[in-house]
Structure 1
Amino acid sequence: MRTADLTLDTVVRLLSENEASARQTLSMVPSETSMSGLAKLPMLLDPYHRYFFNEGDDPDRWHFRGAQRLRDLEMELTIPLLQELGRASYASVRPLSGLNGMTLVLGALGGEPGSTVVTVSPEQGGHYATPQVAGRLGLHAEFLRGPDPHSLDLEHAAELLARVRPSLVYVDQSHCLFPVDVKSLVETVREASPGTLVHVDASHWLGLVLGDAFPNPLDQGADSWGGSTHKTFPGPQKAVVLTRDPQVEQLIRDAQDFLISNHHFAATIALGISLLEFREFGPAYTRAVLEHTGRFGRLLTERGLTVVAADRGYSAGHQLWLDTEADGIAPKDAAARLSAASLKVNFMAGLPGFTGQGVRIGLNEATYQGLSGDDIDELADIFVAAVRDTEPAALLAERTAALRTRTPFGACAADGSPLLATALDLCEGALRRTGAAAGRPLTEASR
Structure 2
Amino acid sequence: MGERVLGLTDVLRSLTDNERAAGQTLSMVPSEAAMSGIAKLPLLLDAYHRYFFNEGGDPDRWHFRGGQDLSKLETDLAVPLLAELGQAEWVSLRPLSGLNTMTLVLASLGGPPGSDVMTLSPDVGGHYATERLATRLGLRVHQLGGPDPHGLDLDRAYEQVAAVRPPLVYVDQSHCLFPLDVRSLVETVRRASPATRVHVDTSQWLGLVLGGVFDNPLDCGADSYGGSTHKTFPGPQKGVFLTRDPQVAKQIEETQEYLISSHHFAATISLGIALLEFRQFGAEYARAVVDNTHRFGALLAERGITVIAQDRGFSAGHQLWLDTDADSIAPQVASDRLFQAGIRINFMAGLPGVTGQAVRIGLNEPTYRGLAEPELVELADVFVAGVRATERPENLAARVAQLPRRAWRRGPTDSESALARQALALCAASLAYPASE
Which interval holds the TM-score relative to the shorter structure? over 0.9
Listed one character per residue, the Cα deviations across residues 195-236 of structure 1 (whole Å, up to 9, x for unaligned) are: 100000000000000000111000000000001000000000
Contact 2:278–2:409 at 8 Å: present in 1 too? yes
Alignment partner of 1:149: what SS? Answer: coil
1:268 aligns with 2:268: yes
Alignment partner of 1:360: what SS? Answer: strand
**Residue in structure 2 matched with residue 327 of structure 1 by the alignment:** 327
Please give the alpha-carbon distance, in whole angstroms, between the structure 2 residues aligned to 1:336 and 1:101: 33
1:197 aligns with 2:197: yes
Alignment partner of 1:203: what SS? Answer: coil
Alignment partner of 1:151: what SS? Answer: coil
**Residue in structure 2 matched with residue 354 of structure 1 by the alignment:** 354
Please give the alpha-carbon distance, in whole angstroms, between the structure 1 residues aligned to 2:112 and 2:127: 22
Please give the alpha-carbon distance, in whole angstroms, between the structure 1 residues aligned to 2:358 and 2:15: 31
Alignment partner of 1:390: what SS? Answer: coil
Q: How does 1:48-447 map to 2 (within 5 A)?
A: 48-404=48-404, 406-412=405-411, 417-432=417-432, 433-435=435-437
Listed one character per residue, the Cα deviations across residues 280-324 of structure 1 (whole Å, up to 9, x for unaligned) are: 000110010000000000000000000000011000000000000
Matched to 1:296, the amino acid is F
Matched to 2:332, the amino acid is K
Alignment partner of 2:12: what SS? Answer: helix
Please give the alpha-carbon distance, in whole angstroms, between the structure 2 residues aligned to 1:428 and 1:320: 40
Matched to 1:410, the amino acid is R
Listed one character per residue, the Cα deviations across residues 58-105 of structure 1 (whole Å, up to 9, x for unaligned) are: 011110000000110001100000000000010000000110110000
Please give the alpha-carbon distance, in whole angstroms, between the structure 1 residues aligned to 2:15 and 2:410: 24
Sort the Cα spacing of 1:43 and 1:411 in 2 relative to 1 into closer, same or farther, 3 A. farther
The alpha carbon displacement at 1:6 in A equals 1.7
**Aligned residues with identical type, % of pairs:** 65
The alpha carbon displacement at 1:13 in A equals 1.0
Deviates more, 1:77-86 or 1:9-18: 9-18
Runs of 4+ in 1 over 6 A off after TM superposition: none
Q: Is there any run of 5+ residues in structure 2 with no aligned partner, and where?
A: none
Sort the Cα spacing of 1:430 and 1:80 in 2 relative to 1 into closer, same or farther, 3 A. same
Matched to 1:194, the amino acid is P
Sort the Cα spacing of 1:379 and 1:280 in 2 relative to 1 into closer, same or farther, 3 A. same
Please give the alpha-carbon distance, in whole angstroms, between the structure 1 residues aligned to 2:135 and 2:304: 44
Matched to 1:8, the amino acid is L
**Residue in structure 1 matched with residue 6 of structure 2 by the alignment:** 6
Please give the alpha-carbon distance, in whole angstroms, between the structure 2 residues aligned to 1:296 and 1:122: 26
Please give the alpha-carbon distance, in whole angstroms, between the structure 1 residues aligned to 2:420 and 2:97: 30
The alpha carbon displacement at 1:424 in A equals 2.0
**Count of residue pairs brought into register by the alignment:** 433
Contact 2:157–2:188 at 8 Å: present in 1 too? yes
Listed one character per residue, the Cα deviations across residues 240-264 of structure 1 (whole Å, up to 9, x for unaligned) are: 0000000000000011011100000
Contact 1:29–1:344 at 8 Å: present in 2 too? yes
Please give the alpha-carbon distance, in whole angstroms, between the structure 1 residues aligned to 2:421 and 2:187: 54
Alignment partner of 1:117: what SS? Answer: strand
The alpha carbon displacement at 1:8 in A equals 1.2
Please give the alpha-carbon distance, in whole angstroms, between the structure 1 residues aligned to 2:10 and 2:196: 55
Contact 1:98–1:238 at 8 Å: present in 2 too? yes
Contact 2:281–2:410 at 8 Å: present in 1 too? no
Contact 2:38–2:420 at 8 Å: present in 1 too? no
The alpha carbon displacement at 1:409 in A equals 1.3
Contact 2:280–2:410 at 8 Å: present in 1 too? no
Q: Is there any run of 5+ residues in structure 1 with no aligned partner, and where?
A: 436-447
Contact 1:414–1:420 at 8 Å: present in 2 too? no
Alignment partner of 1:33: what SS? Answer: coil
Alignment partner of 2:372: what SS? Answer: coil
Contact 2:150–2:176 at 8 Å: present in 1 too? yes
Matched to 2:427, the amino acid is C
The alpha carbon displacement at 1:426 in A equals 1.9
Matched to 1:46, the amino acid is D
Matched to 1:134, the amino acid is A
**Residue in structure 2 matched with residue 444 of structure 1 by the alignment:** none
The alpha carbon displacement at 1:7 in A equals 1.6
The alpha carbon displacement at 1:423 in A equals 2.4
Matched to 1:409, the amino acid is W
Sort the Cα spacing of 1:49 and 1:282 in 2 relative to 1 into closer, same or farther, 3 A. same
Please give the alpha-carbon distance, in whole angstroms, between the structure 2 residues aligned to 1:339 and 1:412: 31
User: What's the TM-score once normalised by structure 1's chain length?
Assistant: 0.95
Alignment partner of 1:189: what SS? Answer: helix
Please give the alpha-carbon distance, in whole angstroms, between the structure 1 residues aligned to 2:411 and 2:3: 38
Alignment partner of 2:278: what SS? Answer: helix
Matched to 1:408, the amino acid is A
User: What's the TM-score once normalised by structure 2's chain length?
Assistant: 0.97
**Residue in structure 2 matched with residue 442 of structure 1 by the alignment:** none
RMSD: 1.3
Alignment partner of 1:207: what SS? Answer: helix
**Residue in structure 1 matched with residue 17 of structure 2 by the alignment:** 17
Alignment partner of 1:143: what SS? Answer: strand
